[in-house]
Structures are given as structure tokens and as C-alpha cells.
Amino acid sequence: MLDGTLVELQNVGVKRESRWLVRGVSFTVDKGEIVTLIGPNGSGKSTTAKLLLGVLDANEGTVNRRKDLVVSYLPQSLSIDWTLPIRVDHFMKMTGKVSDDEVRSALDSTGAEHLFKEELRVLSGGEFQRVMIARAISRKPDLIVLDEPVQGVDFSGLVELYQLIESLRDELNCGIVLISHDLHIVMAASDNVICLNGHVCCSGTPKSVSESEEYLALFGRQVEPGLALYKHKHDHTHDTDGALIDIRENSRITSNIDQ
């Protein structure tokens, strides 16, 4: 593993019953790098995230994590049981040593400082997300994994969120893994976009938004700072069984072809 590398996935796969959820996934997350994972529902994005976090064990391949890596994880959904009385400040200190001041300044940076003593289960969806992001910041992580943080966020909120994530990367110099189900709009600041569909369909840097005027016309100029249209260059497609079909040769293939 290289010096700046935080996590390295080598040809990993996860199997449930007899079906592979993901297979043959390889990529690395480096310090100061933003990696965006995109793909349709059920394409194995969350599974891949759990693999690199060590929540799931790989059935094949290897996952290497740097030693003593401090991780902040924002799961796709987190439902707090009503029987659990827990306030925001306590929640933020739950998995690490974080001082009151650090909690306050982190909440301040996501505009949620007034929620400090609030009970977690009374927060609205938006407030809860601010708290989750503040929690991630306060741990001073080496790696942040955000699983679909843009769910239910409107367009201006999306730009704001992406700007926040970018500033986090700049401030903390941490690696960031961002999961999105949106196939076409990703963060312009992404260093690497990985398109998953049970395997790595394609990957690379996002094309800048300015190159695609037609997309801008659709969403307006204000999206320019944080967003980019991601151009897919698939060299294969999937038939109804999910099996691979090579476009170039127009014949069934069995191996995973990345461009």
C-alpha cells in the first residue's frame, strides 16, 4: 500500500446465498481524495462502502486499511428507537473522545449549534443530517464515508452540501467516499468516479460541467460551482438477467471489462 493510501480494495466480492452482490471491485482511497460511487439501486454501492469500512467481510479479494485509521461513517439510514433517550451532544461523543468545545464548533459549521442539547428522536430529517455531518467532522477523521447524503435534499441544498464536503476535504485533508444513486450529476470536485453495477462498470474523473451546455440549460447556471455531469463511457451493457453484453463485439462475455 502506498504512503498516502487510506484504504485499498483488491478484487473484492461479497456473496449472499449463491448470488454475488458485488464482485471484482478494485480501487483505492487516498488522503485528500474524493471518491464518488454511483450506480443504480441494488448495484452494491452500500455493500462496497461496508466492505471498505470493515462492517462486512469480503468472500474473496482483500481489503487493506491503514493502521489506526479514524473513520467517520454516515449510514444511509439510522433510525433511533424511541425507547432510547439520547441527546445530540451525547450522540456526538458516542464513538470517540470528543470535547464539548469540539462538539459545539462542529455543530456550528453545519448550522446546527442550537440543537446541542436536543433529544435525537425529535429532530427533523434535515436537522438530523446536519447533526450526522457535524458528528463526522468532530471526530477529525482520516476517512469519511457518506452513504447517499443527498437523499431528500433539494437542488440548492445539494450544492451547499457538496461545497461543505469539499471544504471538509481541504480542511481535514481526509479521504472522502461519497455514495450517490444519481447517475448523471456528481460532485465536480470528485477525483475519481466509480460506476458500479455489481462490478466496476467504469471509472474516471468527472467531465466538467462547462463542457455540457445542454445540461446547464436544463438546471441553470447556479449549479456550476459544485456539480458536474458525468459522462458514462460504457463498453458493455446488461441483458435482462444482468449478464454482460459487450457492445463492441455484440456478444456475451463473462469477464468484467473495465475501460
Partner 1 sequence: MFDDFFYRALLVGVGVAIIAGPLGCFVIWRRLSYFGDTLSHAALLGVALAFLVEINFTLSVFIVSALVALFLIYLRAKTSLPSDALLGLLAHSVLALGIVVLGFMTWVRIDLLSLLFGDILAVSMYDIWLVFLGGSLVLVILVTIWRPLFADTVSHDLATAEGMNPQRARVIFTLLLALVISISIKVVGVLLITGLLIIPAATARNVSSGPVQMAIISTVVGVIAVVCGLFSSLQWDTSSGPTIIAAALVLFVLTLLPLRRAITLVADYSAKLANRGS
Q: Is 119 in the site for partner 1 (CB under 8 A)?
A: yes
The grid coordinates listed for 15 are 456473496
Shortest distance, CB of residue 132 to partner 1, whole angstroms?
10
Shortest distance, CB of residue 99 to partner 1, whole angstroms?
13
Q: Is 231 in the site for partner 1 (CB under 8 A)?
A: no
Interaction residues for partner 1, span 46-65 (CB under 8 A): 50, 53-55
Distance between the two ends of the chain, CA-based, in angstroms?
A: 23
Query: In this complex, which beta carbon is closest to partner 1, that of residue 54 or of residue 225?
Result: 54
Size of the site for partner 1 (CB under 8 A): 25
Compute CA distances 219 → 47, 51, 160, 251, whole Å.
31, 35, 15, 38
Q: Could you tell me which residues come within 8 angstroms of residue 189 by beta carbon, excluding any fewer than 6 positions away?
A: 34, 162, 165, 166, 169, 226
Helix residue ranges, H only, the chain = 45-53, 88-92, 100-109, 125-138, 155-172, 213-219
The identity of residue 249, as a single letter, is E
Q: Is 42 in the site for partner 1 (CB under 8 A)?
A: no
Query: In this complex, which beta carbon is closest to partner 1, that of residue 27 or of residue 73?
Result: 73
151 to 180: interface string for partner 1, x by CB under 8 A: ------------------------------
Shortest distance, CB of residue 73 to partner 1, whole angstroms?
4
Query: In this complex, which beta carbon is closest to partner 1, that of residue 102 or of residue 206?
Result: 102
- The count of other CB atoms within 10 Å of the CB of residue 104 is 16
The residue written with cell numbers 441483458 in the block is: 239
Contact 178, 188 (CB under 8 A): no
Query: In this complex, which beta carbon is closest to partner 1, that of residue 47 or of residue 110?
Result: 47
66 to 95: interface string for partner 1, x by CB under 8 A: ----xxxx-x--x-xx-xxxxx--xx--xx
The residue written with cell numbers 471538509 in the block is: 168
- Contacts with partner 1, residue ranges (CB under 8 A): 50, 53-55, 70-73, 75, 78, 80-81, 83-87, 90-91, 94-96, 119, 139, 145
